[in-house]
Amino acid sequence: MYIIACSLIAICVIFLLLIDTIKPTRYPPGPTWVPIVGNFLEFRKKLSRLNYHHLVYEEFSERFGNVVGLKMGRNLVVAVFGADAVKEVLTREEFDGRPDGFFFRLRTFGKRLGIVFSDGQFWQKQRKFSLQHLRSFGFGRREMEEKIVDETKDLIALFRKQCSEPIWMHTAFDVSVLNVLWAMMAGERFNVNDERLLKLLQIIHDAFRLTDMSGGMLNQLPFLRFVAPDVCGYNKIVSILTRMWEFLEETIDQHKRTLCGSHARDLIDAFLQKMNVKNDNDASFTDDQLMSLCLDLFMAGSETTSNTLGYSVIYMLQYPEVQKRVQLEMDEIVGRNRWPTLQDRLNLKYTEAVLMEIQRRANIPPLGIAHRTVRSAELFGYRIPEGTMVLTSLYSVHMDADFWRDPLAFRPERFLDPDGNLTFNEKYFAPFGYGKRRCLGESLAKANYFLFFTALSHNFYLEDAPDSPRPQFDGYDGVTISPKPFKAKLVPRTD
C-alpha cells in the first residue's frame, strides 16, 4: 500500500508540474517555460550577460515579435514593444490595472494602497483628491514655479561656494527637486545639506536599484523570503521600507499634533481633515493610505527627475558643443541680467530640443510602470488573460530605428523642423506615458527639469573633472536607470 500511495503521489506531482508548463489559449509567443519558476532562470542568465532588464526583454522581442508572453515564477508577464503596441496598451481600459503581488503589497502594509500601484475606483478617488489639494497648494500654478525658482537659487548659491573643487553631480539635485513637492505635501522644505535627508534619499536610490518593474525575484517567487531572505532582497527591502515609514510617520504625527480643523496647510493636513469628517463613510481615507500616498509621492518626486538632471549634466559634458549652443541661445533670448523662466520655454527652442533628446536617449524609465489586465483582452490577435502583468517598453519606442533612423546618436536637431521650431510625434516620444495612467507629476517634472537645467547652464560652464570618476552613459539598472557616481567642474560664467 505504501508503494502504491507513493506512486500515486508521484504521478499527481508530475501531472501538476506538466500542467504548469501549459500556456493559456492564444497566449503571445515566448520561450518555453518550466514548472514552478517559468522563464525565471533563463531570464536571469540573459540578465547576467546584458546587465539591464529592459535589454533582456528587448532580446526576447527580437526573437518573438512585438508582443512576448512569459511566465516569471507564478506570474504571467506580457511585454510589448514598438509604438503601436505600447500605445495600444497604455490607452485601453482593459490594461489600466496595476500589478498585484507580494512585492507590490509589501511596501503598503500587505494591502493595495497608495496611487502608483492601486487601480479602479479606489485609485480614481485618491488620485482626484491628491491632485485637487496639491493644486490648491500650488501644483501646476504660478506658485509652483516660484518654489522651483527659490530652490534653483539656493542650489546655485551652494554650487558657487563649492565650485573651487569638482562637485559630485549624480545626486546633486536630489534635495532641491524633492523640496518643491514636499512643500506642497508637508508644508516644509529641507536644507540642501540636511545629512539625515541625504541618507534617506540614498536609501531611495538603493530601493530603485534592488529590483525591476516586474517586482523581481521577490514578487515572482515570494517563498524565497523564508529560505533566502538576503539573496532575494527581502531583508534589504524591509530595512529600506522601515526607514521610510519611520520618517513619514514622524512627519504625519507632527501634523496630527498641530492640525487645525478649518485650515489645511498642505496635502497631509487636507487628508487628515478628510479622515476626521464625521458621518463620512469613505473607508479609503485611513492612516495606512496616508502613509502609502506619502511614500509614493516622496519616492516618485525624488527619483526620476533627479536622475534625468544627472544625465543632463553627463550629456553636456560629453557634448560640449551642444552645451555651448544652449548657452548662446539663452544669452540671446534671455540675456545675462536675469535667469530663464518658464515663460522663456516657447522661445528657447533648441534648449527644449536638447532636454527632449536627453529624455529620449537616457530612457530613465525604460519599461514605464507595469500595468495589469483588469479583464481578458485581445491584443494583435493574442489573448491576454485577466490579471496578467503587462510591461510596456518605452525604450523600444525611443530607440525605434525605423522612425528615429539613428537612435543611438545624440542629436537634439531631430526635435526641430527646418525653420527651427519644435516638432515631435507623441507616439514615438512618451517619457511620461499615455492615457489615464499618464504620470501624475508630469507638469512638475517638466518645470523642474527646465528650470534646474537652464539655471545651471546659465550660471556655469560644465567641464570634465580631472582625476575624478568620469561620467558614463551606462547607469545603474533597476526600476529606473540612474547615473553612476561622477564629478564635474563647474566654472562660473562671468561674461
Give binding residues for heme as ranges: 439
Contact 64, 30 (CB under 8 A): yes
Q: Give me 316's grid cell.
A: 553636456
Cell match 479602479: residue? 120
Binding annotation? 439
Nearest one of 428, 434, 440, 299 to 371, comparing CA atoms: 434
Measured between alpha carbons, how far is 385 from 75 in angstroms, rounded to an integer?
Answer: 11
> Could you tell me the end-to-end alpha-carbon distance of the chain, in angstroms, rounded to an integer?
94
For 92-135, the DSSP string reads -GGGBB---SHHHHHTTTTS--SSSS--HHHHHHHHHHHHHHHH
Measured between alpha carbons, how far is 341 from 46 in angstroms, rounded to an integer?
Answer: 46
Order of strands across the sheet that contains 75-80: 67-72, 75-80, 389-392, 371-372
Distances (CA, A) of 431 to 80, 220, 299, 354, 388: 16, 27, 18, 14, 23
Measured between alpha carbons, how far is 29 from 381 in angstroms, rounded to an integer?
Answer: 11
Q: For residue 112, what are the β-bridge partners? A: none
Residue type at position 495: D
Contact 428, 404 (CB under 8 A): yes
The continuous run of DSSP H or E covering 492 comes out as strand 487-492
Measured between alpha carbons, how far is 392 from 80 in angstroms, rounded to an integer?
Answer: 5
3-state secondary structure of 71: strand
- Cα-based angle 419, 420, 426 (whole degrees, multiple of 5): 105
Could you count the other beta carbons within 10 Å of the beta carbon of residue 343?
A: 8
